[in-house]
Structures are given as structure tokens and as C-alpha cells.
Amino acid sequence: MKYRLGNVHQIVDLIIRNYLKKGSICVDATLGNGKDSLKIYKTLDGDCKIYSFDIQDQAIIKSKKLFAENKINEYKIKIINDSHENIYNYIHEPVDFFIMNLGYLPGGNKDITTNYKSVKIFLDKITLIMKAKSFGLIIFYPGHEKGMEEYIEISKYLSDLDQNKFNVSKIEQMNQKNQPPLVVMVERL
Ligand SMILES: C[S@@+](CC[C@H](N)C(=O)[O-])C[C@H]1O[C@@H](n2cnc3c(N)ncnc32)[C@H](O)[C@@H]1O
């Protein structure tokens, strides 16, 4: 088998490499250290536009450094220091893909995490501007208290998405202990 699926990042990789198309308009709702945006950019050989959001200055600084080290065309990844709730202030075109890697900034302040209220607002908005056959990935971390609350709340939201418009699938590593991360794929029909 080409891929091992031992952790959530490998699963995300597998999906991105197989489904994401060149020329895609992408949204990284939680830029963090910039690794997801970089992965998307590299997978598409830079043939894409990515709107990348984060509320923390530390995340913005780290990502800018990572992108500079990797010689990223700065017009291809638009870094936005604002909450993903406000996507309509920045995105005025239909999107092909979004990723939302929830939780706290790796190596940062663990008290600053995503919260389900802004995630719901983001989802309300992004689902209205997703192109036909577009998709999004949400990575949940139910292993910590806030992450579990977020997972429960957003699961209810996703379960209620109209099945005539969206497929919502969950990938769960069932035999792993201690609430491993989960990936949910939201596909626009
Ligand atoms: C798990 S990290 C993301 C990891 C990242 N994608 C990477 O590749 O390193 C979650 C990020 O979400 C950010 N965040 C929290 N609430 C946010 C919001 N309302 N809008 C945008 N970003 C937010 C945090 O600052 C943190 O950097």
C-alpha cells in the first residue's frame, strides 16, 4: 500500500493528494504554523490560490517565515490576520476546497483554541460559496476538553446539513486509545 494511515496527517495527505485539483481556490481557516497551507501549495505545484486565516500574531509570523524559506509566491497564499468568521470580508469568489485544522497552535498558547461558535459561523458561510464537487476537511481533536465540546457541537451541525447538497463522511481510527483526532470530509454535490 502506498500510504500508511497511522495518523490523521497521513489521512489528510491521502485525501488532498487524490482529490485536490490544480487551479483550486482554497481556504485554510486555521493557518497556525502554515504547514497545511504549504502542503496544499506544494501538492498543487503552486497552481492555486489559498486564503489563510489566523487570529494569532505568532501564527502569522511563523507562517510567513515558513513560506519565505520555501520560496512561496506570496500572491498565491493570502495571509489574513482575522477570524475565519469574517471570510466574506476577504473572499468574493466560489471556493474549491477548505481545510479547518481545529484546536490550539502547536508549540503555542494552549489556552487559545478554536471554538465551536466561530466554527459554525465559518461553516454557515463557506457552505454557501462552495462550488459543485468541491470539498472541505475538518480535523477535530476530541482528546482535550474544549476539543470534545467542539466535536460534539460541530457534529450536530454537520449531521443536519442537507443530504441533497452535501455528503458528510467521518474517518475515525477506531482502535486507537485516548480519543485520537478525527477527520470529517464535507463534499458539495
Ligand atoms: C491546530 S492550529 C492549526 C494548525 C495549522 N493548520 C498548521 O498547519 O500548523 C489551530 C489554529 O487556529 C487558530 N484559530 C483559533 N481561532 C481562530 C479563528 N476564529 N479564526 C482563525 N484562526 C483561529 C489558532 O490561533 C491556531 O493557530
User: Does residue 149 sit in helix, strand or coil?
Assistant: helix
Which residue, judged by its Cα, is nearest atom 25 of ligand 1? 56
- Could you read off the pLDDT of 28-77 as tens digits, one per residue? 999 999 999 999 999 999 999 999 999 999 999 999 999 999 999 989 99
Residue 133 pLDDT > 70: yes
**Going by CA atoms, what residue is nearest to atom 26 of ligand 1?**
105
- Integer CA distances (angstroms), 67 to 29, 37, 73, 74, in order: 17, 9, 8, 8
Measuring from atom 16 of ligand 1, which residue has the nearest CA?
114
* H or E element, residue 9: helix 8-19
Positive or negative CA dihedral for 116, 135, 8, 105? negative
DSSP for residue 166 = E
| Whole-prediction pTM | 0.98
Look at residue 24 and tell me whether its pLDDT is greater than 80: yes
1 Cα: distance to centroid of ligand 1 (angstroms): 32
Query: Distance (Å, rounded) from C-alpha 142 to C-alpha 183?
Result: 11
Residues with CB under 6 A from ligand 1: 30-36, 53-56, 59, 83-84, 101, 103, 105-106, 112, 114, 118
Going from the Cα of 164 to the center of ligand 1, the distance in angstroms, rounded, reads 30
Backbone φ, ψ for residue 152 (5° rounding) = -65, -50
Tell which atom from ligand 1 comes closest to the C-alpha of 56: 25
For 146-158, the pLDDT digits (tens) are: 999 999 999 999 9
> Looking at the predicted structure, is the pLDDT value of residue 1 above 60?
no
Q: Is residue 84 within 8 Å of 30, Cβ to Cβ?
A: yes
CA distance 12 to 72: 21
